Structure 1
Amino acid sequence: MLINRDFEISSCDDYELKIRRDSLLKFRITHDDTRQIKALLFITPGLGGDADSNYKDNLAGFVASNYDVGVVSVNYHCIGNRPQVGAGIAFDEFDCKILKQRCDEVGIWLDERIFSALNDPVNAKNLLFYLDEELSIKKRQNALNDDFLLRISMSVYPTNGEYQNFGVMQGLDLLNALLFIRKNVNFSQNGGGCGEIPAVLLGSSHGAYVSYMAAKMAPWLVSGVIDNSAYAVLPWQSIGFGKEIDYIKYPCAALKGNFNHIMGYFFDKTHWTLNPKSPHYFSESAEKIRDIYEPEHLKEMAKYNKPIFVSYHCNNDFIAPFEHKVALFNELKNLGYDATLYAITDENQVDGKFIKKLEHGMDMSLKTLIKRELNKMLDKISQNTQNKRQISYKSAGKIYKFYEQNDKILLDLI
């Protein structure tokens, strides 16, 4: 019989920005109580449709029913940062400055008191409908060209009052869920936890990237990673501060949505900034620690037990450039890792079932990916034999030290 168990635990604060985290980490474990559980499979959703709860539950049920694994679904920090999973659209202070300037240019005057309420998604939506109608009137009056679009910056406000830290807190969430399960969850009728059970991490796009980050921060805890279209080098435009450079050139997304005369340029809510005078400055050290393909970091990681890596990646990927993934896997192989990269380069590989598109994510069937790769990885992986439970990375002007203590992974910045 399939068993689903839900947990809420405290995980990590934002060690880099010294922000206390108020939200709890939620995760679900699914397993078949008639099977002997040999490993944990973390299925980590990205920022798109695979973060939908029904999709996750159905996939977890399929895997748990057919493989000797416990399936773990982690709602990592800031997972709810897209509208399809509950995020709201609103204006932060930076957005309001752009909005006022663009409206002034077309002769739409907004009361200053309005701007203080635009961090509320309901108020923001009402204002957008008002502006769309005002622009329509101006076009009918020939005050604006028919093809004019009001181009404005907007922010995506995640659920649970969270924000986009990008990578570090999210990877720590996977690891802290794993350590909690090992100590507290037993898949048999015996008490206690399940001990040093191996863990395999699987994901698409950002979910796969988070899996790599977890392996980087605690290689002694991760036995393998199965990846669809992870970025190997940080896509900094996705963090949220691209509008500080050029809001039209560096958004996460740009679309008209339900409006006829407005083009929105969207950015994740973040506390990071490109202002070097700010304590929240996104420095070179913050960038390097988030790069999976960072050769010196890979050399340090290779001193530990080596996770197995399997990746599928399209050479036509404009979000996660293919050449970065090739460089990453060449370096992994040079360092002695069991690392296999499947390049999807030809229309003949688009079968409509497993691979459906030659673009980022390939609209891949994760169920088919699991059928192809999970048993092969389970046959290869072994338990950790590394006693050292900490790792340090020199990252520009800082040292990031990740270490296991009291059944959690902690981070010290030196």
Structure 2
Amino acid sequence: MAKEYNYEMYGQPSLHTLKERKFNVYFSEPDSGINKDTGILLLIAGFGGNANSNVYKKMRNTFADKYNLVTIQCDYFGWEFMQGANNISLNVNKHQLQRDFKREEIDYIYRDKDIFPRLMEIVSNNKINLSAKENLKETLDNYNDMGLIQAIDNISAVISVIEVVKDNGHSFNENKIILYGHSHGAYLSYLCNAFAPSMFSLLIDNSSWLFPVYLKSNRYLNSMYGNSLLSVEFEYLAKTLEYDEEILFLPSLYEKLENQCEVICYHGTNDNLISYKDKVVLNEIIKKFRYNEIDNDKVDNKVFKSTQHGLGADFLELFDYTINNYDFEFKNTGNKQNANVTYKTRKNKYLVDYSSIVPVLHLERK
């Protein structure tokens, strides 16, 4: 059974406040130990997932032993605001409810201040839809930035684990460092590859968007309670802040990059967040990009269960499918170093500085 570890490390501060912050890193190594053929796999969860989700714990341990990998994840910047609804304000008042429910039902709902469970108990028997808003409590110190700092955290996690491995006297295959992400996690994988362009050898993309949709529109989580629908709205702080679309939009970012990483992309024909017709444009921009369009004929109810966003994919099966259906050459050519990376946009100049080993992102406004 794979050996599990976790630790806390310093992360890049928010670009808005520069307040010191830390984040958690989790990794597993093969039960048989680390050798010159061992690779590294960075798993990046998207909205609704995190490093402590059961499926990700299973992936870290399963892939470590099955594929001789050190598997890594982290609690990247703002991850806690990307989960399910847990602190909502209902868009409802007693006067509105009086139009739909009997007096004894109203009295039951308002028996004490904690009305939510009794309200949902009553509405579940009726076809009444409710809306609510999540109280996110983001601050400029800590928020879901959906981009730059989240990517820097993930790169930092990989580099710090590599340093741990080397400090313990192990060598590994530095040409076998893999990114595997789902939805926003896949999007962050592209950012990681762009900010550390000599580090990663393979990127597996399940349903990445080209740009974080929730920077322009709000996120909604819908849950059924019997016959009723509860729709919870998430409005992220990053949507109200200034951002640089040129660095965050993958086509414009990758036009500035000579890509060295193999990319295997899976995208559904009924994805409601990013159309496959828009996604396929990466085929013309990114060198070593392989596009797999998942339509109804490719839904096998094993790896792919739908053609919608995320493909209803079994995350473990999708990784197995990719490794077994492509011929990857992870030839160990020895030690690799990360050089500083600079990107210029119409708004800003970005420097990813590796002089202290882990990256620091510097932003210079024009």
User: In the alignment, what sits opposite 2:48?
Assistant: 48
User: Is the CA contact 1:223–1:382 (under 8 Å) kept in the aligned structure 2?
Assistant: no
- 1:300 aligned to 2:256? yes
- Output the amino acid matched with 2:283: F
User: In the alignment, what sits opposite 2:274?
Assistant: 320
SS at 2:250's partner residue?
coil
Matches within 5 A, 1:80-159: 80-84=80-84, 88-90=86-88, 106=96, 126=113, 129=116, 132=119, 151-156=131-136
Task: Report the alpha carbon displacement of residue 259 of structure 1 after superposing the two structures with TM.
Answer: 9.8
Q: 1:307 to 1:383 in 2, by over 3 A?
A: farther
User: In the alignment, what sits opposite 1:69?
Assistant: 69
Q: 1:151 and 1:232 mapped to 2: Cα distance?
A: 29
User: In the alignment, what sits opposite 1:290?
Assistant: 248
Matches within 5 A, 1:14-413: 14-15=14-15, 17-34=16-33, 36=35, 37-48=37-48, 53-84=53-84, 88-90=86-88, 106=96, 126=113, 129=116, 132=119, 151-156=131-136, 162-186=142-166, 191=169, 196=174, 198-235=176-213, 238-239=214-215, 250-255=217-222, 263-270=230-237, 272-274=238-240, 281-283=241-243, 285=244, 287-294=245-252, 297-302=253-258, 306-332=260-286, 337-345=287-295, 347-374=296-323, 376=326, 378-380=328-330, 389-413=339-363
User: Is the CA contact 1:312–1:341 (under 8 Å) kept in the aligned structure 2?
Assistant: yes
User: Is the CA contact 2:132–2:232 (under 8 Å) kept in the aligned structure 1?
Assistant: yes
Q: 1:321 and 1:385 mapped to 2: Cα distance?
A: 40
SS at 1:24's partner residue?
strand
Q: 1:209 and 1:409 mapped to 2: Cα distance?
A: 19
Q: 1:223 to 1:400 in 2, by over 3 A?
A: same
User: Is the CA contact 1:207–1:230 (under 8 Å) kept in the aligned structure 2?
Assistant: yes
- Taking only aligned residues, the RMSD between alpha carbons, in angstroms, comes to 3.6
Task: Report the alpha carbon displacement of residue 324 of structure 1 after superposing the two structures with TM.
Answer: 2.3
Q: 1:130 to 1:392 in 2, by over 3 A?
A: same
Q: 1:20 to 1:88 in 2, by over 3 A?
A: farther
* Structure with greater helix percent: 1
- Output the amino acid matched with 1:30: E
Q: 2:180 and 2:65 mapped to 1: Cα distance?
A: 17
SS at 1:10's partner residue?
strand
Paired residues, number? 345
Q: 2:136 and 2:226 mapped to 1: Cα distance?
A: 17
Q: 1:103 to 1:383 in 2, by over 3 A?
A: farther
Q: 1:12 to 1:378 in 2, by over 3 A?
A: farther
Please give the per-residue CA displacement for 1:11-58, whole angstroms capped at 9, x wherever unaligned: 21112x234253423222332325634320112222235755321122
Q: 1:381 and 1:20 mapped to 2: Cα distance?
A: 41
User: In the alignment, what sits opposite 1:113?
Assistant: none
Task: Report the alpha carbon displacement of residue 338 of structure 1 after superposing the two structures with TM.
Answer: 1.4
- Output the amino acid matched with 1:288: E
SS at 1:191's partner residue?
coil
- Output the amino acid matched with 1:184: V
Task: Report the alpha carbon displacement of residue 360 of structure 1 after superposing the two structures with TM.
Answer: 0.6
SS at 1:185's partner residue?
helix
User: Is the CA contact 2:3–2:30 (under 8 Å) kept in the aligned structure 1?
Assistant: yes
Q: Any unmatched runs of 5+ in structure 1?
A: 109-124, 137-145, 243-249, 275-280
SS at 1:329's partner residue?
helix
- Output the amino acid matched with 1:43: L
User: Is the CA contact 1:30–1:72 (under 8 Å) kept in the aligned structure 2?
Assistant: no
Q: 2:283 and 2:146 mapped to 1: Cα distance?
A: 22
Q: Any unmatched runs of 5+ in structure 2?
A: 99-111
- Output the amino acid matched with 1:59: M
User: Is the CA contact 2:207–2:266 (under 8 Å) kept in the aligned structure 1?
Assistant: yes
Farther-moved stretch of structure 1 (368-377 vs 171-180)? 368-377
- Output the amino acid matched with 1:374: I
Q: 1:20 to 1:401 in 2, by over 3 A?
A: same
- Output the amino acid matched with 1:338: K
Fraction of identical pairs, as percent: 19
TM-score, structure 1 normalization: 0.71
Farther-moved stretch of structure 1 (47-56 vs 305-314)? 47-56
Task: Report the alpha carbon displacement of residue 164 of structure 1 after superposing the two structures with TM.
Answer: 0.9
Q: 1:7 and 1:82 mapped to 2: Cα distance?
A: 22
User: In the alignment, what sits opposite 2:108?
Assistant: none
User: Is the CA contact 2:175–2:200 (under 8 Å) kept in the aligned structure 1?
Assistant: no
- Output the amino acid matched with 2:146: F
User: Is the CA contact 2:12–2:361 (under 8 Å) kept in the aligned structure 1?
Assistant: no
SS at 1:230's partner residue?
coil
Q: 1:182 to 1:150 in 2, by over 3 A?
A: closer
SS at 1:405's partner residue?
coil
User: Is the CA contact 1:172–1:409 (under 8 Å) kept in the aligned structure 2?
Assistant: yes
Q: 2:71 and 2:87 mapped to 1: Cα distance?
A: 32
Q: 1:164 and 1:217 mapped to 2: Cα distance?
A: 19
